Structure 1
Amino acid sequence: MKKVWILTSVFVLVLSLAAAGAQEKKAQGTSERPKVVKERTAVMTATVEAIDLEKRLVTLKGPKGEKKTIAVGPEARNLPQLKVGDLVTVKYYESMAVEVVKPGTASGAGQASTIMRAKPGERPGGSAMRVATVMATVTAIDKKAGTLTLKGPEGNLVTAKAENPKNLDKVKVGDELMITLTEALAISVEPAQKK
């Protein structure tokens, strides 16, 4: 549980810095129980430049010509089907939902993950998703600085700057927050285009 809270603490601080491409959805739920959702999606496409099957290394070339060599783990069982020139697309999604819940609400804290990979013989690819939920208590609100301090399940404190300071009017010291983090990654490979 400590890892989840540390991850949440870092995630809260990162998202509060107004990450590019992030959106804040309108508060969902009632005015008594506000909810804020932050989302970010990124898509990257690269071309396979080189493959070392023995060392399980793949060199990718990005759209601006930048090259990156990555180590591919044994879970990518269809690596031998990858060819130079193939187009690799990586889609990444992350979201954070923060909801004020009634004190004493049964803790939805925990985490779950799922991994799907291509079947043997299929084109390389796969997806992974992880959802982590933690409960935190608001211990301080500084409207002038635009920050709030949260106490996690292990007793640790994290102070985060609110991207939208108006949201601080919707919470008070003692409120319990349910913070849900979702990450999803999908990798697909398309064959090289014939010239």
Structure 2
Amino acid sequence: MRSLKTSSLAALFALVATGAGAQMTKTLTGEMKTETATVEAIETSTREVTLKKSDGTYTVARVGKEIKRFDTLKVGDKITAKYYDNIVLRLKAPGEPDTDTKTASTTRAAEGQAAGTVGAQRTITATITAIDQSVPSITFKGPNNWTYTSRVEDKAALAKVKVGDRLDITWTAAMILSLDGQ
């Protein structure tokens, strides 16, 4: 969750353009995505599973010890993940303290069920460190020297923010994982 989508930045500037008297929080709702992958390799000592996604690319997932059915996975198993995320942007008042929090949760499937859930939320305060009207683009800096630069679609809205403005960015993600055929 270390990156923002360009569309989210465009929405931020639509938020800023509404003016000081308007609500200063914007939720950017994501969409439910479904991905099915095939187990290609299992490394039991590190609890890592190599998955081949439907587009042919590979990814490695580390399976936490809270997942009790890890030992039932086999090469060739199909895993389906339903994924949803959203982003909330909130302009901060001058002098308001910075935020840097993260939470995560895992829910195991009930006995005999093949699905479980994973959720995570991260909120950081980021400061606008650069604005380039010619591109147009904006650069943010957050905790641990996290930086992010993105194009912005709405030049007029970009003109309404300035270097030094701060905002809270909250990413929330949830995933339902199921082992197909069980």
Q: Which secondary structure state, in structure 2, belongs to the residue aligned with residue 75 of structure 1? A: coil
Number of matched residues?
Answer: 174
Question: What letter is aligned with 1:150?
Answer: F
Taking the TM superposition and a 5 Å limit, the aligned residue runs for 1:138-177 are 138-154=128-144, 156=145, 158-166=147-155, 167-177=157-167
Cα offsets for 1:12-68 (capped at 9, x unmatched): 3xx23x6xxx897685695333646363542113567x898x88787877667x597
- Which position in structure 2 is the counterpart of 1:31? 19
Per the normalisation by structure 2, the TM-score is: 0.66
Structure 1 residues 68 and 141 mapped into 2: Cα distance closer, same or farther (>3 Å)?
A: closer
Question: What letter is aligned with 1:152?
Answer: G
Q: Percent identical across equivalent pairs? A: 32
Structure 1's unaligned 5+ residue stretches are 1-6
How big is the alpha-carbon RMSD for the aligned residues of Structure 1 and Structure 2?
Answer: 4.1
Q: Return the alpha-carbon distance in structure 2 between the equivalents of residues 38 and 79 of structure 1.
A: 32
Cα offsets for 1:68-116 (capped at 9, x unmatched): 7977744332356668997632112233333222112243421111111
Question: What letter is aligned with 2:170?
Answer: T
Are 2:78 and 1:90 aligned? Answer: no
Structure 1 residues 24 and 184 mapped into 2: Cα distance closer, same or farther (>3 Å)?
A: farther
Taking the TM superposition and a 5 Å limit, the aligned residue runs for 1:26-175 are 27=14, 31-32=19-20, 33=24, 35=26, 37=28, 39=30, 41-46=32-37, 73=63, 74-79=65-70, 88-119=79-110, 121-154=111-144, 156=145, 158-166=147-155, 167-175=157-165
Q: Return the alpha-carbon distance in structure 2 between the equivalents of residues 173 and 59 of structure 1.
A: 43
Alpha carbons 2:25, 2:88 under 8 Å: kept: no
Q: Return the alpha-carbon distance in structure 1 between the equivalents of residues 61 and 26 of structure 2.
A: 39
Structure 1 residues 118 and 148 mapped into 2: Cα distance closer, same or farther (>3 Å)?
A: same
Question: What letter is aligned with 2:134?
Answer: K
Q: Return the alpha-carbon distance in structure 2 between the equivalents of residues 177 and 71 of structure 1.
A: 32
Are 2:159 and 1:185 aligned? Answer: no
After TM superposition, which residue ranges in structure 1, 4 or more long, deviate above 4 angstroms?
A: 22-30, 54-64, 66-72, 79-87
Q: Which secondary structure state, in structure 2, belongs to the residue aligned with residue 78 of structure 1? A: helix
Structure 1 residues 146 and 51 mapped into 2: Cα distance closer, same or farther (>3 Å)?
A: closer
Per the normalisation by structure 1, the TM-score is: 0.63
Q: Return the alpha-carbon distance in structure 2 between the equivalents of residues 181 and 135 of structure 1.
A: 12
